[in-house]
Structure 1
């Protein structure tokens, strides 16, 4: 079964369509969660999920990156028989780490929930969390292999179907069972585990159709392959684990610092749930396109690097950085003036324009950090990217500790910490990429022009919103018309600047 086209545009387009569908389904999912679980239930889920993210990162971050990079390199060098060995090695490493993590969590779960998370009810979710981790590991390793082989359509099919099953499973459980905040978190993880079963079965079937014969005749795992795998997986896993531990510490500490600023326990937990479950997903909508670009570029950049084509590497790096600016900054600028209305409409949650603006700025910094980290990983410079990520999380945690307990800042201290740490990490990654590949930074073109387009898009979106809200009776129709007008304006601005965003991705692997 062959359905691959060796273009970044094709891969990014397929992933973008899938991610947009996932974003839409994700909003349905989050609206459902906000209605059934409420802000406090989402806050409890976020506390429990901080443990899950640490386990997920430690067990999978390095394994999946090694699987994608080595499978892409095997395809580029014609050693297709090695992909089966890469897959078996990835599964062996993952299950070893997962069983060790599960043993520790089951033995010390109550102490972790009460002593570290600060809420013993979070322990109710741990058994279902571990089941979800095992299933997610199988799914993510298979998806990583397909990404390395440039079969991105399979990951899109799997993720879209999984999200549909998750909405149905979690919705039924929350609606029929209900309960306190701890029970809500447990039911959410139980529904997630049900959806992961769907993805595992589907991806396993697709793998047999795509690589069944090659997998059966694959070469054995030798010492050289194991060393290559370890060289990628170990530093990535350790550093990503450290970064996620710091990030989880921030999620755990934030409610306590907000309480020190004058909030009670329920308000602090609700603030965490509102930020993580409602506002951030809203402002991160452009990540559907940006994440697709990064995922599509990984095997292409790896292949160019493996064959020594430095000119192509420079061109791809420059295209990636420019495209992130062209998409991320104007799209976020459009969302900022609409965020208060969208938050009320979707989540029944009030939101100030200042809150939305700070969150949007932090999201843009996150986009640049995301794409530059992915490029460093594709070039084999994962040590640099993960060091930057760890330092950024450390800086963010230190700023949260310092700022969020101040009554004048509160939750805004967390947003400022996100912005400064993300921007610093992106700047450092860009400097490393410039030194390693020699690509031209061109700050006025790659950053200044997108910022100008973003400023114009934000101002005109504000005017569109005021105009349509006065003359259109339906708030939903007014928002839809504003978004349509803003989208056309963004495209027109880019064309007036002589830029064609899709051409930056229309490059063949060969």
Structure 2
């Protein structure tokens, strides 16, 4: 009962915080679109695939590995080893993050011109690289807390990150405007870095003050812990890297393929900015709830698997996935009805409204996919997750290269819907036939 209470409490805390931060982020994106315009928002969004790629390399897989390993260590009554796992992960992840920072700064011009196709991204890439070490610290500590089913530090750090990001950008924007200077979209990147730094600082200070002292680090155990983390994180990192690399190709290709549909460079960037900076964040807003469920599911599944309680596992998966799917159906109906209003009145963009209505159909599949993939990761079968994600992304990329030139952005939206449906179907089949979860 205590474990069930911890799962529900953790989910509620993360959901509440996620809704607040997404609510803040929703209006922040409206502010960005009004302050910098659709084209500059598109330019800002263009750097995120590169940024996400290096986060995937340095911390994403390690965070999940830390979470699962810590949950297992705690279930075996080894809290000291759980702490040592985190410290080993921090050393490894931060080393990769600093290497990524140096690589981006040395090659920013080439990445901007040759990969992203716009030299204006150079300054944005250089600035965003400073966030990588902060992300590594923040991610590892969050992974440890999730493994313990403790959500206070991750939740507050998320809230701090969003607050600092929005506040710093708004203050700097209005200061420059008052000074007679036209603000550049680079200040949005400055806000991102400031937010990540604040969240990393808070996470480290909070955890160190309450849980850690230097003697907790055992060098003799470090090699074994690092090896265990690598064993778990390499498939996850390969998963995230492959997915992010394909997403980067997808993101860079969308504006170029839109040009083949007779759009100018400015029009293509504007459409891309509306899609990724307005419509998609709106669709993803309710996923704060399903993301919280997914985060808490993985360590819970790992713990149940270690205890061999198959019936309990089936019940947990059914309940979590069913709730996510029902939420998705409700959100689908909401966006179908209110999509045009949100686009025209809130974003001042009729195009955003059209995109929201089309994207509404992915909600049931998108929201439940997070739960399914988290369960599969919790069972330790990360290769399946990789295969599923690659299939979904492959369909999206094919739609970009082969449908967008003929049908415009609508072709990409069709591909996105098809990919989410197939991801749901594949995850269901894997759980049904391999783990008898049905």
**1:126–1:186 contact (8 Å) kept in structure 2:** no
Q: Distance in 2 between matches of 1:4 and 1:142?
A: 21
Inter-CA distance 99–353: structure 2 relative to 1 (3 Å threshold)? closer
The corresponding residue for 1:35 is: 34
Question: What whole-Å deviation, never above 9, does each CA across 1:224-261 have from its counterpart, x for those lacking one?
Answer: 43332112111111121111111111111101111110
The corresponding residue for 2:199 is: 199
Cα RMSD between the aligned structures? 2.1
Whether 2:413 is the aligned partner of 1:415: answer yes
**1:301–1:379 contact (8 Å) kept in structure 2:** yes
Q: Distance in 1 between matches of 2:128 and 2:185?
A: 10
Report the CA distance between 1:212 and its aligned residue: 2.1
Report the CA distance between 1:305 and its aligned residue: 0.9
The corresponding residue for 1:491 is: none
TM-score computed with the length of structure 2 as normaliser:
0.94
**2:274–2:351 contact (8 Å) kept in structure 1:** no
Inter-CA distance 113–353: structure 2 relative to 1 (3 Å threshold)? closer
Q: Distance in 2 between matches of 1:49 and 1:217?
A: 36
Report the CA distance between 1:218 and its aligned residue: 4.5
Report the CA distance between 1:209 and its aligned residue: 3.5
The corresponding residue for 1:364 is: 364
**1:166–1:195 contact (8 Å) kept in structure 2:** yes
Structure 2: where are the runs of 5+ without partners? Answer: none
**2:290–2:368 contact (8 Å) kept in structure 1:** no
Inter-CA distance 295–174: structure 2 relative to 1 (3 Å threshold)? same
The corresponding residue for 1:437 is: 435
Inter-CA distance 246–184: structure 2 relative to 1 (3 Å threshold)? farther
The corresponding residue for 1:393 is: 393
- In terms of mean alpha carbon deviation, does 240-249 or 103-112 score higher? 103-112
Mapping of residues 44-83 of structure 1, within 5 Å = 44-83=43-82
**1:400–1:413 contact (8 Å) kept in structure 2:** yes
The corresponding residue for 1:120 is: 119
The corresponding residue for 1:94 is: 93
Report the CA distance between 1:183 and its aligned residue: 7.5
Whether 2:262 is the aligned partner of 1:262: answer yes
**2:101–2:132 contact (8 Å) kept in structure 1:** no
The corresponding residue for 1:240 is: 240
Report the CA distance between 1:196 and its aligned residue: 1.8
Report the CA distance between 1:185 and its aligned residue: 4.0
The corresponding residue for 1:333 is: 333
Computing the radius of gyration from Cα coordinates, the structure with the larger value is 1
Report the CA distance between 1:222 and its aligned residue: 4.6
Whether 2:376 is the aligned partner of 1:376: answer yes
Aligned residues: 433
Q: Distance in 1 between matches of 2:13 and 2:172?
A: 32
Question: What whole-Å deviation, never above 9, does each CA across 1:24-48 have from its counterpart, x for those lacking one?
Answer: 1111211111111111111001111
Question: What whole-Å deviation, never above 9, does each CA across 1:405-441 have from its counterpart, x for those lacking one?
Answer: 11xx21111111111112112211111111232122x
Inter-CA distance 130–192: structure 2 relative to 1 (3 Å threshold)? same
Question: What whole-Å deviation, never above 9, does each CA across 1:325-370 have from its counterpart, x for those lacking one?
Answer: 1212112311221111112222111147653332112333222222
